Amino acid sequence: MNSATLWYANRATGAVCLVLLTVVVLLGVAVRLRTRIPGLPRFGTVSLHRALSLSVTAFLALHITTAVMDTYVDITVTDVLLPFVSGYQPLWLGLGTVSVDLLLAVLITSLLRERLGHRAWRAVHWLAYAAWPVALVHGIGIGTDTGTDWMTWLTVACVAAVTAAFAARLVHAARAARRTPAALLRTAEGARP
DSSP string, 118-148: HHHHHHHHTHHHHHHHHHHHHHHHH-TTTTS
- With cut-offs at 50, 70 and 90, classify the pLDDT of residue 38: confident
Alpha-carbon distance 122 to 162, whole Å?
A: 20
Q: 94 vs 186, which has greater pLDDT?
A: 94
Percent of the chain with pLDDT over 90: 66
- CB-CB neighbours of 79 under 10 Å: 23
Alpha-carbon distance 38 to 88, whole Å?
A: 45
**Domain spans of the chain?**
3-191
**Which residue from 91, 125, 135 is spatially nearest to 79, judged by alpha carbons?**
91
Average pLDDT value over all residues in the chain? 90
pTM of the full structure: 0.87
Q: How far is CA 68 from CA 46, 62, 83, in A?
A: 33, 10, 15
| pLDDT at residue 25 tops 80 | yes
Query: First CA to last CA across the chain, in angstroms?
Result: 80
Q: Which of 7-11, 130-134, 189-193 has the lowest mean pLDDT?
A: 189-193
